[in-house]
Amino acid sequence: MAKICVLGCGMVGSAIIKDLAVQHEIVAMDVNESALQTLSGVNNISPQTLDVRDGQALQDAIAPCDLVINAVPGFLGFSSLRHIITAGKDVVDIAFYPEDALSLDDLARAHNVTAIVDMGVAPGMSNLILGYYDTLMRVEEFKCYVGGLPKVRTWPFSYKAPFSPLDVIEEYTRPARLVEYGHIVQKPALSDREFMEFERVGTLEAFNTDGLRSLLTTMSHIPNMAEKTLRYPGHIELIQALIHCGFFQQTEIDINGKTISPRELTSHLLQQQWRLHPGEQEFTVMHIAISGIENAQHQVVRYDLYDEYDDASQTSSMARTTGYACAAAANLLLSGQYTHQGISPPEYVGKNPACFDYMMNYLQQRSITYRKTESTQ
């Protein structure tokens, strides 16, 4: 039994904690005491209050641990990862931050640390799958479409966020980087709308977001790559209206002698609009298409995921699909099956067939199924 520190006990962090606590001793850390109270009294879980913004306190808190899970909100993620690495602790990271985790590779190597980053569903499993097939074929194109949505659409957004609204706002405002014909191109987030049909879901709209992240560097030999976010039709116009009116602006403004950040205010208001209520039914849908040349023949490999809220464990689908992927990677590290030192995005893990199979089987055991189809067209 290993001792694991989990930083961040929100919806996804809690799913990771409960999954890993079956086999390991967990120290659950969060600045929010109410989040910790939900874990109090559960076997193998010790709640502990911690503000990760205090770097020294963070390093002291994780000192007794064998492994750290970084599941804090995106705006805290990169600095927390740096402190974890400096403390010499192996880590699995799902914090969605704008900074480039690969910039910490030298630091991780200097401290003999293995850091698996972006290990969620997308980025995460999408990268893992691409990394695996990059060893089998000459990949010419990679496309990923992914989204998490409530089953019941409520006006006006038809959306609920399983994590911080600030992270979603960042996704909607950060320019999207894609690869077209071997060149990195930058497009506005929410651009290039497509309407797509999904079994059990119906019509969704897809739009550009900056989800390729490490793939822009590690898979730069692939000439065409894109990731798009999925929402119910009409969502784009609502978000663009908020952007146009300045609701996501970061620069503080003065109102009657008081300064306020429009983005922080909007995030606070959307916290209530987008909050998933206990037991609320939602789903995660993802479609991955990888095409290229294998054995002198053109091949197309597709993976489709559809996952729903789990009534038995009362766990949201986004928490399951993201959190259990992170938990699987944690067990890979603890078992010694993956030992590559430095920063490892999931595509590095996927290049190891044994690790790829382990990850897929781990999720399958938790009824998270990536359905694979192949064709020559």
Tens of pLDDT, residue by residue over 158-176, are 999 877 788 899 899 999 9
DSSP secondary structure letter of residue 103: G
Structure tokens at 252: 């503080």
The whole-number average pLDDT for the span 124-142 is 98
What confidence score (pLDDT) does residue 37 get?
Answer: 86
- List of long-range contacts for 355-359, beta carbons under 8 Å, 24+ apart: 356/128, 356/131, 356/132, 358/328, 358/332, 359/125, 359/128, 359/325, 359/328, 359/329, 359/332
CB 277 within 8 A of CB 125: no
User: SS3 of 177, please?
Assistant: strand
Tens of pLDDT, residue by residue over 191-209, are 999 999 999 999 999 999 9
Domains for the chain: give ranges and CATH numbers: 3-119+318-369 (3.40.50.720), 125-308 (3.30.360.10)
Measured in whole angstroms, the distance separating CA 101 from the mean position of its chain's CA atoms is 13
197 φ, ψ (degrees, to nearest 5): -105, 135
Closest by CA to 317, choosing from 330, 326, 308, 325, is 308
Distance CA 167, CA 10 (A): 13
Distance CA 105, CA 222 (A): 22
CB 246 within 8 A of CB 259: no
CB 304 within 8 A of CB 284: no
Of the CA atoms within 13 Å of residue 1, those in its CB half-sphere come to 10
Helices and strands in the chain: count of H runs, count of E runs: 13, 18
* pTM for the model: 0.93
What confidence score (pLDDT) does residue 126 get?
Answer: 98
The whole-number average pLDDT for the span 253-264 is 93
What confidence score (pLDDT) does residue 215 get?
Answer: 97
Say whether pLDDT at 371 is over 80: yes
Strands 45-49 and 25-30: parallel
CB 6 within 8 A of CB 17: yes
Distance CA 251, CA 175 (A): 18
CB 234 within 8 A of CB 159: no
What confidence score (pLDDT) does residue 64 get?
Answer: 96
55 φ, ψ (degrees, to nearest 5): -60, -40
Tens of pLDDT, residue by residue over 41-98, are 789 999 999 999 999 999 999 999 999 999 998 889 999 999 999 999 999 999 988 8
Query: Taking each helix axis from N to C terminus, what angle separates 317-334 and 353-364, rounded to the nearest 10 degrees?
Result: 140
Tens of pLDDT, residue by residue over 307-355, are 999 999 999 999 999 999 999 999 999 999 999 999 999 999 999 999 9
| Cα radius of gyration (the chain) | 20
